[in-house]
Amino acid sequence: MTASMTARHVGDVLAPAEWRAHRDRHRARVDDLIGPYLRARRRGVRHPVIDFLFTYYSSRPAHVQRWHPGHGIVLAGADEYLGLRGYHRVDGGVTVDPEFHRGRLGALGATAALLRATASRPARLGCFGLHEWAMVYRTDEPRHDAPLRLGRAGTDAVVDEMPLRCTHFDAFRFFTPAARPLNEAELDRDRQAADEQPGCLHATMDLYRACFTVAPLIDSDLTFSCFALALRARELDMRASPYDLTHLGYDPIPIETAAGRAQYVREQAAITEAGAALREAVAQRCTTLVAHAPTRVN
């Protein structure tokens, strides 16, 4: 987060030149990160790695491209924001609508509770990304249009020889019927808060969803940080997957070997460490937003 936005307080008013400078810097950061992908996407080009952050999460590029100052900041001369979800006009400019804020209290509270439950557990770093392998185990219907590095039989053999230790329900639910009984635990939605743990790449990717689903209450600096880490996690996810993505510039991590597993754990640990700080930031932001919910005026 930029220092100037960190120092802002509820009720502060940003002059047009100031908030437009923040907006333009934000757009430049997004373009530096995924600009080529977004331009290819507009031409209809599909990408099996990055598309996930938009298609699976029912997100749109605008969710990460558009700059929001966050709850309580007033943007002077910002009528362009009036057409966006969650804004309304006040004296001095445009800010987040208190009705929108009140309508998101349930989501904010549930998100904070899930993130704190996840953070309360030790990170488990021994899954080796096998969830992607379990999704194609003993089936002729891969989830991505890319060849399998080890072929069909070789892919199945890896799953047969290595334990499945997935803790994330939203990955587990895509396991093939043959793979589900092989996982160390049967996962379900009702137990998600009891099973999530911070070493899971998908739990870290979910921080991006936690931000954009309550936008514009959470500022875009935090949302961008979560998106950038989700992209790192997704890239590791797919480099360790059974797919051959070298044509897209992704060097595989051969988790079927001891060296590959060691590399995976090193990169997973680095993402877990970065995710811990962001998880706390998102949880604290959600908690603060619940605590400072506007009262309804009759």
Residue 296 lies in a domain: no
Q: Is 161 inside a domain boundary?
A: yes
- Asked if residue 79 belongs to a domain, the reply is yes
Is 297 part of a structural domain of the chain? no
pLDDT at 298 over 90: no
Nearest CA-CA partner of 133 in 269, 264, 45: 264
Higher-confidence residue: 147 or 9?
147
Of 142 and 264, more confident? 264
Q: Is the pLDDT of residue 5 over 70?
A: no
Position 144 scores a pLDDT of 81
Domain that holds residue 134: 3-291
Q: What is the pLDDT of residues 85-122, one digit of tens each?
A: 999 999 999 999 999 999 999 999 999 999 999 999 99
Number of domains into which the chain is organized: 1
pLDDT band at 297 (very low <50, low <70, confident <90, very high): low
Mean pLDDT of 134-156: 92
Is the distance from CB of 71 to CB of 217 less than 8 angstroms?
yes
Residue 298 lies in a domain: no
Tens of pLDDT, residues 240-296: 999 999 999 999 999 999 999 999 999 999 999 999 999 999 999 999 999 998 877
The more confident residue out of 9 and 27 is 27
Other C-beta atoms within 10 Å of 13: how many?
16
Q: Which pLDDT belongs to residue 7?
A: 52
pLDDT per position as a tens digit, 60-95: 999 999 999 999 999 999 999 999 999 999 999 999
Reply yes or no on whether the pLDDT at 20 is more than 50. Answer: yes
Per-residue pLDDT band at 4 (split at 50, 70, 90): very low
Whether 145 shows a pLDDT value over 90: the answer reads no
pTM: 0.94
Q: pLDDT-derived band of residue 3, with 50, 70 and 90 as boundaries?
A: very low
In this predicted model, what pLDDT tens digit does every residue of 183-219 receive, in sequence order? 999 999 999 999 999 999 999 999 999 999 999 999 9
Could you tell me if residue 35 is inside a domain?
Answer: yes
Q: What is the mean pLDDT of the chain?
A: 94
Residue 232 lies in a domain: yes
